[in-house]
């Protein structure tokens, strides 16, 4: 059976930190090898009856429990090390706080192949400091070879030349920048999407850092250099859904504007924060 673009050419549990995406790709991989492979045939091997359970797990409607885990490990024919890693991955995905997530992440990393381990740590580092993103965007504006001082001076709030150098080394390791024919560093792709499996472990800290920068911008910049507004309101369940879709659509429009822009001369940050100020219904 020919493989689609979304079908992995090979499968390894060590390519994942999110067990739901791991299960999704596992099924696609097995299906690409054998068209008769199905959710029902997997269920029989795993020792449960519902053929829809697999889909519910992948979509996040159910969680993989400790009781169910041994059957899944058996049906996937994972060896001892792979099984241990998969179990840690389930715990990492279900962790309820940053301390627990960090614990399970630290348990998984030593089990990764060297290259995968290096990439995972670099991805984590990328989101740990706000200025890595700013440095990458600045390279679309400046003509920077190895002049880390000029790059550091361009960023606001200022960073040190040493931080600029370390940031460029990290971006280079991740394949996010490369030198052009003139020896200047440029972003490899136009925009980085936050699709990392590490999820809340790094994304929450990343978002917090930009929220803090937004607070500082109130005093740092004049009104004609920034646009910050607050709006408090009441909503129904339907209104909440509609507003969430509007926010998603707005970011898509911003993304298209950025992609089509020319003559860039500044690096900017856009934060949209939407959260409850009251008890949630049913709680």
The model's pLDDT over 73-130, given as tens digits with 9 standing for 90+, comes to 999 999 999 999 999 999 999 998 878 888 998 899 999 988 788 777 887 888 888 9
Q: pLDDT at position 123, please?
A: 78
Residue 73 lies in domain: 13-95
User: Dihedrals φ, ψ of 240, to 5°?
Assistant: -60, -45
Q: pLDDT at position 1, please?
A: 37
Give the percent of the chain with pLDDT over 70.
Answer: 92
Q: pLDDT at position 9, please?
A: 64
Looking at per-residue pLDDT, the higher value among 115 and 178 belongs to: 178
Residue 231 covered by a domain: no
Residue 115 covered by a domain: no
Residue 153 covered by a domain: no
**Cα angle value 180/182/187 (rounded, 5°):** 30
Residue 267 covered by a domain: no
What are the pLDDT digits (tens) for 230-276? 999 999 999 999 999 999 999 999 988 988 988 999 999 999 999 88
What DSSP character marks residue 62?
S
- What is the C-alpha to C-alpha distance for residues 131 and 218, in angstroms, rounded to an integer? 19
Question: Using 50, 70 and 90 to split pLDDT, how confident is the model at 198?
Answer: low
Q: Give CB contacts under 8 A, 24+ apart, made by 55-63.
A: 57/20, 57/23, 58/20, 58/23, 58/24, 58/27, 59/20, 60/20, 63/94
Residue 263 covered by a domain: no
pLDDT at 4 over 50: no
Q: pLDDT at position 200, please?
A: 64
**Per residue in 236-257, is it b (16+ CB within 10 Å) or e — as a string?**
eeeeeeeeeeeeeeeeeeeeee
- What is the C-alpha to C-alpha distance for residues 56 and 41, in angstroms, rounded to an integer? 16
pLDDT at 215 over 70: yes
Question: Using 50, 70 and 90 to split pLDDT, how confident is the model at 222?
Answer: very high
Scan for tokens 């990290």, then name that residue: 170
Q: pLDDT at position 8, please?
A: 57
Split into its structural domains, the chain has a count of: 1
pTM of the model: 0.62
Residue 78 covered by a domain: yes
- What is the C-alpha to C-alpha distance for residues 105 and 88, in angstroms, rounded to an integer? 8
**pLDDT, mean over the chain:** 88
């Amino acid at each position: 059976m020919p493989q689609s673009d979304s079908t992995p050419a090979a499968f390894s549990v060590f390519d994942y930190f999110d067990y739901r995406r791991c299960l999704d790709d596992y099924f696609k991989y097995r299906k690409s090898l054998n068209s008769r492979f199905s959710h029902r045939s997997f269920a029989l091997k795993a020792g449960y009856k519902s053929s829809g359970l697999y889909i519910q797990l992948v979509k996040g409607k159910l969680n993989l429990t400790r009781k169910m885990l041994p059957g899944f490990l058996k049906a996937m024919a994972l060896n001892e090390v792979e099984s241990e890693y998969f179990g840690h991955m389930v715990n990492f995905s279900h962790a309820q706080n940053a301390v627990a997530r960090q614990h399970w992440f630290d348990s998984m990393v030593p089990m990764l192949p060297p290259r995968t381990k290096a990439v995972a740590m670099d991805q984590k580092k990328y989101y740990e400091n706000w200025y890595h993103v700013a440095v990458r965007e600045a390279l679309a504006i400046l003509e920077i070879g190895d002049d880390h001082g000029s790059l550091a001076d361009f960023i606001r709030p200022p960073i040190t030349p040493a931080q600029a150098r370390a940031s460029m080394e990290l971006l280079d390791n991740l394949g996010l920048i490369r030198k052009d024919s003139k020896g200047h560093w440029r972003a490899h792709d136009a925009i980085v999407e936050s699709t990392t499996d590490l999820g809340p472990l790094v994304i929450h800290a990343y978002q917090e850092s930009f929220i803090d920068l937004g607070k500082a911008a109130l005093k740092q910049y004049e009104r004609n250099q920034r646009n910050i507004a607050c709006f408090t309101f009441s909503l129904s369940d339907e209104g909440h859904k509609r507003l969430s879709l509007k926010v998603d659509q707005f970011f898509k429009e911003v993304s298209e504007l950025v992609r089509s822009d020319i003559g860039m001369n500044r690096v900017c940050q856009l934060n949209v924060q939407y959260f409850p100020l009251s008890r949630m219904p049913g709680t």
